[in-house]
Amino acid sequence: MEVNNSIKRLKIKSMINTSIYCRRISKLVLMGAGLQLLLLAGSCRKVHREVSTIPAIGVRVARVSLSSYVIPVRCTGRLSTKIESRLSFKTGGIIERILVDEGQSVSRGQLLAELNPEEIRSQVRQSELALEKTERDFRRAENLYRDSVATLEQFENARTALDVARANNRIARFNLRYSAIHAPADGKILKRIAETNEIIAAGYPVFIFASTQGDWVVRSSLTDRDVIRVQMLDSATISFDAYGEEVFGGLVSEIGTAADPYTGTYEVEIRLLAQPEKPVSGLIARINIFPADRVDRIIIPYEALVEGTGLTGYVYLIRDGKPERRKIRIESFSDRGIAIHSGLTEGEEIIVEGTQYINANSRIEIIGQDN
C-alpha cells in the first residue's frame, strides 16, 4: 500500500515539473517572436528611409502618334552597263588567236579573237564549186528545154538546185565572216572565258563584253511582296563600299514581269543619274527604292530603343508615373526614326531620353516632353 502511494506521489511531482518547464518554454518563444517583430519593423523603417532617399532619374518623354511614312524597299544589286553581252563564234572550231585580255578597253569593230580558218574556208570553197556545177547544169537544162529536149520538170529542178547552191554559198561565207569576233561597240572586256588552241562549240561565249556607250545601271532581284510596290521612275539611292559614304541617285527604269524560275524573284533595273568617277562593272550596291505609296506608321526616335535583336526591341513607357518595359515589333529603319509594326498604340508616352539609367523599379521625374 505504501509502495503504491509512493508511486502516485512521484507521478504527480513529474507532471508538476513538466508543466513548469512548458510554461518557461512558451515564455521564451514569445520573447523571441517579439524580438523578431521588433527587428523586422526596424528593418522596414530602414528600407523605407533608404528608398525615400534614392534620387529620381530625370527623363524626357514623347507622346506616340501616327505619321505618314514611305517604307523604302531595301535590297542589294550589281553595277553594270546598260548593254552587256556574251560574245561568241558562229561556228565551232579551234581558237587560233585571242588578242585582248580581261579589263582591256576596246573600240568598235576591233578584232578580238578568231578561229583557225582552214575548215571554214574549205567549206566556202566546197560551196563555190557546188555552185559552179549547178550553174552549168542549169544552163544546160535551159538550152535543152528551149530545144524541147528536156521537160519542164527537169528545167525547174535544175533551177531549184541552183538556188540551193547559192544559199549554201551564202551560209558558208556568213560562217566565215563570223569565225572571228569583233567588238560590237566601244566598251570593255569584263571576262575572258576561253583560251588559244581550245576547241570551242558554236555559240559558247568567249568574252563577256560591256558597252561604255550607254548608261550605267544597277540590277537587283526583288521578292513578289516588294516588286508590286515598285513603279517605273520611282526614285532610289545607291551606295557602294568602294566609294565610301558617297550616295548616288537613281530612277527605276525596268521592272521584270516574269519570275526567275530558280529563285522566284523579279529583276529590277535602276538607272544611275550620275555615275561614279571610275565605274567598275560588278560592284555590289546597297539600294533604297522609295515607292510612291505612303502608309501611316508610329515612328519613334532611335534613342527610345533600349535594346533589340533583329526586328524585336524594347522601350520604356510611362504607366501611372512609373517606367514600364514594353516589347515592340520593328518594321523598318529610316533617317526619321524607327517605324513600329506593333507593340505601341497612339497616345502612349515613351521615354526618349534617360533610358540607359532606369529599370522597372526606378523613380523617375519628367523633365521635358517632345511633341
Predicted pLDDT of residue 15: 47
The residue among 290, 322, 352 that closes a domain is: 290
Which residues 6+ apart lie within 8 Å of 293 measured at CB? 70, 229
Same domain assignment for residues 127 and 156: yes
259: DSSP letter: -
Domain end point (choices 260, 290, 320): 290
Which structural domain, as residue segments, surrounds residue 147? 118-178
pLDDT value at position 54? Answer: 64
pLDDT of residue 360: 66
Q: Which residue, among 165, 11, 189, 178, has the nearest Cα to 85 in the 3D structure?
A: 189
Residue 174 lies in a domain: yes
pLDDT of residue 165: 95
For the domain that residue 133 is a member of, what is the CATH number?
1.10.287.470
**Same domain, residue pair 301 and 362:** yes
Residue 353 lies in a domain: yes
Return the closest-CA partner of residue 290 out of 38, 129, 77, 70. 70
* One domain for residues 229 and 280: yes
Nearest-angstrom CA–CA distance, 279 and 11: 114
Here the CATH number for the domain that contains residue 309 is 2.40.420.20
One domain for residues 331 and 355: yes
Would you say residue 336 lies in a domain? yes
* pLDDT given at position 110: 94
Residue where one domain finishes, among candidates 275, 290, 305: 290
Residue 160: half-sphere exposure toward Cβ, Cα within 13 Å: 6
Q: Considering the domain boundaries, does residue 301 fall inside one?
A: yes
3-class DSSP state for residue 74? strand
Are 81 and 216 in contact, with CB atoms under 8 Å apart? yes
User: Are 314 and 327 in contact, with CB atoms under 8 Å apart?
Assistant: yes
318 lies in some domain: yes
**Residue 38's pLDDT is what?**
46
Q: Examine the domain organization and report whether 272 and 319 are in the same domain.
A: no
Q: Report pLDDT for 36.
A: 53
Q: Is residue 35 part of a domain?
A: no
Do 174 and 246 share a domain, yes or no?
no
- Residue 281 placed within a domain: yes
| pLDDT averages per 10-residue partition of the chain, 371 residues | 46 47 46 48 47 70 84 90 89 93 90 93 94 93 88 91 94 92 90 92 92 86 92 93 90 92 93 85 91 84 86 88 88 82 88 80 78 63
Number of domains in the chain: 3
Q: What's the whole-model pTM score?
A: 0.56
- Examine the domain organization and report whether 274 and 308 are in the same domain: no
CATH code, domain with 278: 2.40.30.170
Q: What is the pLDDT of residue 363?
A: 79
Determine, yes or no, domain membership for 109. Answer: no
